[in-house]
Amino acid sequence: MSKYDPLRDYLAGQTRERIAMTFTEIETVLGFALPASKANRAWWSNNPHNNVMTRAWLAAGFETEAVDTEGECLTFRRTGLAPAISGYSEDRQPPYSAIGRQSRVNAKPAGREVESAGTRRSIFGCMKGTLTLDPDVDLTQPADPELADYLDRKYGAEDFA
């Protein structure tokens, strides 16, 4: 449990898309004063590795914007559901039903989609576009030329022409 969980719970309970707050209001929600680093704009960045408090608003599905350190205020903007897992580029996939078709995702009256139980991330496509193959290389041939020669002698050379 993090000491910033009250902020996460507060933001998660909000229905608005944008929540403007002063630093004093955030301190009231937390129940303690923010550290001196609140005066640095970088402290309010949306980098989850920046500080523990960042993870609280990201876990609630929000990001910061319009940070004014001199005026001590900022806006939390809803980004959707929980943040994506680093390294996976596809959206969450609905689970397959027993007959092999994807189950439907229920819609809330507000128009936002809710994930059905059992939804999981797909790793297919996470490396898309990161690898280029040389078209002149036959990937079905052994990587060792001596092994290729041995196999050709033993079983005969294959002719695909």
More confident residue, 122 or 144: 144
Confidence (pLDDT) at 122: 63
Nearest alpha-carbon partner for 61 in 110, 15, 98: 15
Is residue 159 predicted with pLDDT exceeding 80? no
- Chain position carrying tokens 């050709």: 152
- Give the CA diameter of the chain: 81
| Per-residue tokens: 97 | 């039903």
**Using an 8 Å Cβ cutoff, are 76 and 107 in contact?**
no
pLDDT tens, 83-92?
444 444 455 5
Residues in contact with 83: Cβ distance below 8 Å, sequence separation at least 6, in sequence order:
48, 58, 59, 61
Strand partners, 62: 78
Per-domain residue ranges of the chain: 5-78
pLDDT tens, 105-131?
444 444 444 444 455 556 766 667 777
**Mean pLDDT, all residues of the chain:** 75
Residues in contact with 11: Cβ distance below 8 Å, sequence separation at least 6, in sequence order:
19, 56, 57, 60, 61, 62, 76
pLDDT tens, 58-68?
888 889 988 99
